Amino acid sequence: MMRYVIDAPTLVHLVDQELRIDPSVQVVAPSSIRSEALQLLLRDVSEGRRTDAAALEAHERITELKMRLLGDRVSRGTAWRIARERGWDTLRDAEYLAVTRLQADALVTVDPDLAAKADGVVPVAPLHALLDGA
């Protein structure tokens, strides 16, 4: 079974596009992913790209997606070290890279900035690696 870390923009993309994750794939993420995805939906509503109803419907689908969520001491410590090594002033991206390093085969993201930050730190796989029939 392949294990992939996804980030909040990728989670929202999967839900918006109604993409099905292959049952042989395990999705892993930091425990903060659902709150971060909800924040993205709130921003979309505030900027007029979604209605409240559409955002809440997307949130419902997000909560139904099966994921292994991690937020243990080792993950947080690894995120801290990655952020310090890279000179980052937040842990957001470092958390995704830490969970990938510790628990997954690769990171899958639709965010080109996160993919660039992952270069040389953890493997990055294309979106289709997650999908049913890939």
Q: Where are the beta strands (DSSP E) in 1-134?
A: 2-6, 25-30, 68-70, 106-108, 124-125
> pLDDT confidence of 23, banded at 50, 70, 90?
very high
pLDDT digits (tens, 9 = 90+) for 38-65: 999 999 999 999 999 999 999 999 999 9
Q: What pLDDT score does 134 carry?
A: 52
Q: What pLDDT score does 133 carry?
A: 66
pLDDT digits (tens, 9 = 90+) for 61-111: 999 999 999 999 999 999 999 999 999 999 999 999 999 999 999 999 999
Please classify residue 29 by burial: count the beta carbons closer than 10 Å to its beta carbon, then call 0-12 exposed, 13-18 middle and 19+ buried: buried
Instruction: Note the pTM of the prediction, 2 decimals.
Output: 0.94
d(CA 117, CA 71): 21
Radius of gyration (Cα) for the chain, nearest Å?
Answer: 15
Inter-residue contact 51 to 40 (CB < 8 Å):
no
Nearest to 42 by CA among 56, 29, 32, 30: 56
Nearest to 41 by CA among 26, 21, 61: 61
Q: Running DSSP on this structure, what letter comes out for residue 19?
A: P
Q: What pLDDT score does 132 carry?
A: 79
Q: What is the mean pLDDT of residues 23-32?
A: 96
Q: What is the CATH T-level fold of the domain 2-125, as seen in this structure?
A: Rossmann fold (3.40.50)
Q: What is the mean pLDDT of residues 10-33?
A: 96
Locate the domains of the chain by residue range: 2-125
